[in-house]
Amino acid sequence: MRLDDSEDQAAFRAGLKAWLAEQLPEATPSAPRAWSADELRAWSKALHAAGYAGLTWPSEHGGRGLSPSYQAIYAEESALAEAPDHAGVIGLGMVGPAIVHYGTDAQKAEHLPRILSGETIFCQGFSEPDAGSDLASVRTRARRVDGGYVVDGEKVWSSYAHLADHCLLLARTDPDAAKHRGLTCFLLDMRAPGVEVRPLRQLSGDTDFNQILLSGVEIPDDRVLGEPGQGWRVALTTLAHERGTFGITLTARLSVQLDRLVKTAKACGADTDPRVRAEIAELYVDLQGLRFTGYRALAAMERTGEPGPESSILKLRWSQANQRVSALALRLLGAGAAADGTDAFWGGYWQHQRLRSRANSIEGGTSEILRGIVAERVLGLPKSR
Amino acid sequence: MDFALTEDQTALKVAARTYLEDTYGFERIAAFADEGENDLAAWPELVRQGWLDPDLGLAELVLLAEEGGRALHPVPWFATAGLALPVYRAAGVEPAGPATLADGSGTCRATRRDDGWRLDGAVQAVLHADVATEIVVAARTPAGVALFGVGRAAASVSACAGIDPLRATSDVALAGAEGRLLAGPPSAAPLLAAIRSRATTLLAGEAIGVADRALAIAVDHAKTRSQFDRPIGSFQAVSQQLADGYAEVELARSLAYRAAAAPSAEAVACAAHAASRAAVSVCETAIQVCGGMGVTWEFPLHRWFRRALWLEAELASGPLEAIAHSLFGEHS
Ligand SMILES: Cc1cc2nc3c(=O)[nH]c(=O)nc-3n(C[C@H](O)[C@H](O)[C@H](O)COP(=O)(O)OP(=O)(O)OC[C@H]3O[C@@H](n4cnc5c(N)ncnc54)[C@H](O)[C@@H]3O)c2cc1C
């Protein structure tokens, strides 16, 4: 049981820190700066050039073949330095690994280098109006035609689809097969005729996710990822990768948020209020619990290739903590919490966080679904249906 | 970084669990608790198994404390290994049997006589003083705090009723009691502080064990108890509470192990807070899930709930303010 970096890890961390310090303006004491889409792409290029994209990808696909702990160090340091995400988080973190696992040589050659360099942005087209938590009930239909498929249907809540070049699409190819069996994954070109993206506005006012309408979209055979009918397995692989070191990224970002909360409490003169102090201290304990649980899950992953069972609670408890941080921040602002935009403290940063974080317990699997997974798969309780 | 148990640590934990499960069923624990007694007959076996070995590091001790909490291990191991042993180790001697620590640094005085040291004063609520062979007493000397071994027969020990009968405490009065010097000033004061940190970490480990066992009892019950023709564990209102309990245990476990691996003041405070909170909240969830049965005397859960409340009383005051202090600086 050891908590410090190995020699190689320490060297990697030091190099990364120095690089981040050189590339980024110093972390702000208040609200973080916003990044435009172009700046994000430029950042992805720089990351790639410096060798920090695809750390765990095999080297024959442009990665560095490092173990997940390096990805975790990257996640931690870049969040602490308030670096933006790689523009193609979904491609880099989820779709890429699925292509490495299931893709043909041609698919690998086409997509992997571009995902790494940030040239290609992927979105994930899983959810539908009638298939959210119950993902296996997707209805988007891919009909077999000569040389490929024709797709009709509708996807929702697709993050970054408005920026995406490609979509990892989950569609039903065999309506007669059992629910989980008749699904296939496709690498859909978002510019193909018949693909229409409509922005959806979130309650925070952001327009980061979208509806994707698909009518008569032709997808050639060579765009099938994995075997036809195996879409469910491919989808699960991408979701498993989402869980990998994601908890560590979330925790590091939460620690930055908590720092901002402390600064806000001081700015509001609430730092001497014993109840506020106790509440923030409790959030700090939650944060540290998440942090070290993330490290335990990582250690399990380094040893066995799978994150440990404790990883199943990271997103669940992170969403609670993250929501509590912004809720408390707004309460500290008192009547000022009703302001927004430039009139508000830090330009409305906390108002936005309070609204945006409401989605945390829904996106990427709702808290109820996550608890269900823990109950059935970890505690071995009987199925609820 | 490799924040996982080593093979040796896992083996130690498994061996401890097997021994405790084989030795202490629900009924035996209940019998000891109802009599307010400890299983002193098992002490030599414990020593033989190495529970007091000098080569156990804090991480190993936390694992034993965790298993002890899981089993409600009815022996004065925590008082001995957690509180008294570091003093004996510093003095280069072995304790003669179960021992404990009475921190009388504010209320006891030691005076030098021709034939050695004499102690006067009183210390309240000393854990397991009733069964300790020797009580380690912190007392003031003209040069500062020192630590003395006092045979139980030399002290006046009167038992107090407590919420957890397996954690009996006693008031200890000393009137010219003979003490043997184990650690003198100036090393005694920092030794006491180190013991406090170590004891807190061990109790955090114990609290994880308490929470983990309460969860296991409730999960078992939820799998076997049927209502409306289905096991109650298939109702989400039940299973989701248990899943939250699991989350509570795992987060606290990470913090307890981390405090054992790198015991800074901050790490110890986080572990203490998270673990005592987990113990209480998971015991409460477990009782809820067990329904009417859960609130009977016969059903074993209240034994763990009592330990959780004892732990909360020991651990919960302080850590949050210590953490707030480090986040904000001194409260003016
Ligand atoms: C910000 C954001 C970004 C997203 N990005 C993407 C994306 O990029 N790609 C993508 O494919 N999807 C994306 N999603 C979709 C997300 O995965 C779904 O919203 C989520 O899985 C829930 O599905 P739903 O919205 O249909 O809710 P529903 O499944 O209809 O759930 C509604 C409520 O019912 C509860 N519920 C449902 N089933 C059960 C059950 N069995 N037991 C207990 N409670 C249950 C849920 O917990 C929830 O409280 C995004 C969502 C958000 C909010």
What's the gap in Å between the CA of B275 and the closest CA on chain A? 10
* Inter-chain touch B1–A4, beta carbons under 8 Å: yes
pLDDT at position A2 is 85
Cβ burial, residue A180 (10 Å; 0-12/13-18/19+): middle
pLDDT at position A89 is 84
A120-129, A301-310, B120-129, B232-241, range with the lowest pLDDT:
A301-310
**Residue among B5, B222, B323 whose CB faces A381 most closely:** B222
Indicate the average pLDDT of chain B.
96
Length of chain A: 385
What residues 5-34 of chain A have any CB closer than 8 A to a CB of chain B?
Answer: 5-6, 9
Instruction: Answer whether 0.90 is exceeded by the pTM.
Output: yes
A376 is catalytic: no
Q: What is the pLDDT of residues A295-354, one digit of tens each?
A: 999 999 888 888 888 889 999 999 999 999 999 999 999 999 999 999 999 999 999 999
- Helix/strand/coil percentages in chain B, nearest 5: 60, 20, 25
What residues 223-282 of chain B have any CB closer than 8 A to a CB of chain A?
Answer: 223, 230-231, 233-236, 239-240, 242-244, 246-247, 250-255, 257-258, 260-262, 270, 273-274
Is A301 an 8 Å CB contact of chain B?
A: no
Q: Of A236, A94, A104, A116, whose CA–CA distance to A167 is shortest?
A: A94
Q: What is the pLDDT of residues A347-357, one digit of tens each?
A: 999 999 999 99
Q: Percentage of chain A surpassing pLDDT 90?
A: 78
CA nearest ligand 1 atom 16, residue: A363
Q: What is the dihedral of CA A267, A268, A272, A276, to 10 degrees?
A: -110
Tokens, residue A167: 């979509």
Is B320 an 8 Å CB contact of chain A?
A: yes
The DSSP symbol for B105 reads T
Q: What is the pLDDT of residues A175-228, one digit of tens each?
A: 999 999 999 999 999 999 999 999 999 999 999 999 999 999 999 999 999 999
Q: Is the pLDDT of residue B295 over 60?
A: yes
Q: What is the pLDDT of residues B307-330, one digit of tens each?
A: 999 999 999 878 899 999 999 986
Q: Is the pLDDT of residue A28 over 90?
A: no
**What is the distance between the alpha carbons of residues B183 and B187, in angstroms, rounded to a whole number?**
7
Q: Of B290, B284, B289, B285, whose CA–CA distance to B305 is shortest?
A: B284
**Interface with A, mutate which of B221, B239, B264, B317 (most A CBs under 10 A):** B239
Q: Of B249, B242, B293, B208, whose CA–CA distance to A380 is shortest?
A: B242
Q: Is the pLDDT of residue A232 over 50?
A: yes
Of A126, A156, A157, best ligand 1 pocket probe by most atoms within 8 Å of the beta carbon: A157
Q: Which residues of B touch A320 (CB under 8 A)?
A: none
Of A85, A94, A122, A127, best ligand 1 pocket probe by most atoms within 8 Å of the beta carbon: A127
* Inter-chain touch B4–A296, beta carbons under 8 Å: yes
Return the exposure string of A252-262: e unless at least 16 CB atoms fall within 10 Å of the residue's CB, then b.
bbbbebbebbb
C-alpha distances (whole Å) from A146 to each of A170, A200, A219 are: 20, 35, 11
Q: What is the pLDDT of residues B7-34, one digit of tens each?
A: 999 999 999 999 999 999 999 999 999 9
Please state at what angle helix B265-289 crosses helix B236-261, rounded to 10 degrees.
160
Which residue is listed with tokens 């050039």?
Answer: A49
Q: C-alpha angle with apex A75: A72 to A78, nearest 5 degrees? A: 140
User: What count of Cα atoms within 13 Å lies in the side-chain half-sphere of residue A230?
Assistant: 13
Instruction: Give the A:B interface size as CB pairs under 8 Å.
Output: 161
What residues 74-93 of chain A have any CB closer than 8 A to a CB of chain B?
Answer: none
